[in-house]
Chains A and B, each alone.
Chain A
């Protein structure tokens, strides 16, 4: 008699723990052949609120970590993914496609994290500066993380797209609440397990799964999300922008109709870090 394998209950990673949706709802995920794979949490408005609360708690501590420390933690996350690359490749294959393409996405994701790990203690040196004001003040502009960032991951490239949006935000000390791909949520669920073992404090990255139609209006209007970044279609852009107006949220949208090539050079940039930063200018007096 063959042994019946133990299957994993997919849970989302919120506030440093693995949870089911508060709503107790799930939706079935099938593999590329159409066989039942598992039940994915169908997160709701309440889950988003909890995730934002967790992110708010984690935010100040994460932003106060030294840049060197944040760099090492991002690097460590790269190590975790590299170590479980095979597993992630299998997770990507649930959505179909060639194994080589899936493997390529996984290594690109690792490389992306290493890229941003390198920026953590450097972007400030490039983006900030001293301003030569015409008065006796030491005037300098530095950057600060915006706070809690809402991320809407693309449906395609469910791992690399997600990481390409999340990594630049947390590099600078933001925290993130992200909605994973609806059609391919499992890589994000696995990513949660790697986040949990990467020394990243709980609550810095919170990953939700669920239906875009349900979740996007909630992302749009949650007041405590300071910025919204995502790959979204025309209707979703409108919904998010309308909600953003209520609390003057910053938005950065990539069109789902013509999504970025996540493997191309511009998919990783200093500008992506800047997108979730505020500039702060201080006038410090000079004199006795």
Chain B
């Protein structure tokens, strides 16, 4: 009996080696698993004004490329100030004649139609999104497109319930609004911006980002199929000058911008002295805080999702990992192992975890800040994965030994780069997390419910994720504190930014 117990106690000998990690590196290749649905791209995309696709008045077009292989996908119309004028004229006309007068229950039906038609063509849109923007197809398929449809569906139901938006007040649409969106979630940002604006009875002129215009223009096809009255939504495409024309135009009662804090401030300055309402959804440098009682394996998954989701092109990315000192070594070791097995490469492959960086320009910016991180003395670790020879790619990267004064701990990198800092006490974690000009989001990993609620109270951020990260829902308001902008998108609170109260 006693011998049996003694035998049981003795672990299986491995010759002093630690238990092996299941990291095969390049030992076995994954079979390619390309997504093959037809994105149904056109060779040339015109502007979408007054319900029709129209050539730009200048006759100029620019190329949009696939960042995964740098090949041209299509030509996109370059809007001029005259096109922006035409778009606003159409929007104003639609507001005055159709959309602004339509009962809410009828507006709702158009939005429901749009949601359903988008669901019908979900795979096609997912492939188009991935080709144009470089994000892994599993993300566009499982997140971007279904979430965009969900936003239209959720907001549709609000269209005839304006009386419930602001108790005690009369609620009316603002009129025409101008919107400029970024390239990180091209279709989803379109939905975030359009759905609440339309539900509340406004008409829109929207400019997609110049590198990712395709899915917006495909959405315009759905608007046509849905019979959306002409002029309710107008898309003008191009780069910064077109965006400036959309923001500075005299017609809109309100402008909404999602993008960098730098550009947001420029817009605020250019609109100073005007009576336009504004909402700004700007940058972030979110803290993802891991306490020693957190379920560490789950936390590591959350850290990876927080910073490598969409190549880190996420304004709310968990780009600052704050880990409690007692578990820091353990967390960093687990994190490195996890990063080693991330599949980086062809976004169209269904197994790909990290796709292509959206543009050469963005890749250069990431490289530049990573160089700064190395120069400032951060200890860098990068995945050893093989990168495709063509296209824009960046290895998942983490920096340990970072302090608050380092630029990589203060500036938004907008790429797959994580800065790791440590803390000892809850108060120190809060102090470090809040020590930033931004305040968009934060993550908290702990087993204690009371600590979650304390942290969510003390953190100066618009969204706090507990034991999860990068979760979104149309019912859940999203938006920042401080220099991360103002206004909310989603939920009941998001509607308030698209109505006039009297």
Contact = CB atoms under 8 A, between A and B. Distances in A.
Interface of A: 126-127, 129, 131-135, 137, 139, 141, 144, 226, 234, 237-238, 241-242, 244-248, 250, 266, 269-271, 274, 278-285
B265 A246 contact: yes
A226 B479 CA distance: 16
Nearest to A235: B273
Nearest to B472: A133
Contact of B268 (A129, A245, A283): A245
B269 interface: yes
Contacts of A226: 482
A133 B272 contact: no
Contacts of A266: 502
Interface stretch (B163-171, B197-205, B245-253, B321-329): B163-171
Contact of A133 (B166, B476, B493): B476
B350 interface: no
Contacts of A129: 491-492
B463 A280 contact: yes
Given A131-B473, A242-B269, A282-B456, 10 more contacts: A131-B475, A141-B477, A242-B272, A244-B272, A248-B282, A280-B462, A281-B462, A282-B452, A282-B465, A285-B468
A131 B477 contact: yes
B481 A281 contact: no
Contacts of A131: 473, 475-477, 491
Contacts of B280: 248
Contacts of A280: 456, 461-464, 481
A281 to B, nearest CB: 5
Task: Tell me the dominant secondary structure on chain B's binding face.
Answer: mixed
Nearest to A250: B486
A128 B468 CA distance: 22
Given A246-B265, A248-B482, A280-B464, A139 B475 contact: yes
Contacts of B437: 247
A246 B502 CA distance: 31
Given A282-B456, A282-B466, A284-B466, A141 B269 contact: no
B462 A279 contact: yes
Contacts of B452: 282, 284
Interface of B: 150, 166-169, 261, 264-266, 268-269, 271-273, 280, 282, 437, 449, 452-453, 456-457, 461-468, 471, 473, 475-479, 481-486, 488, 491-493, 496, 501-502
B464 A282 contact: yes
Contacts of A245: 265-266, 268-269, 272
A139 B471 CA distance: 11
Contacts of B481: 278, 280
Contacts of B461: 280
Contact of A279 (B466, B483, B493): B493
A220 B456 CA distance: 30
A120 B222 CA distance: 47
B473 A139 contact: yes
A133 to B, nearest CB: 4
Contacts of A234: 273
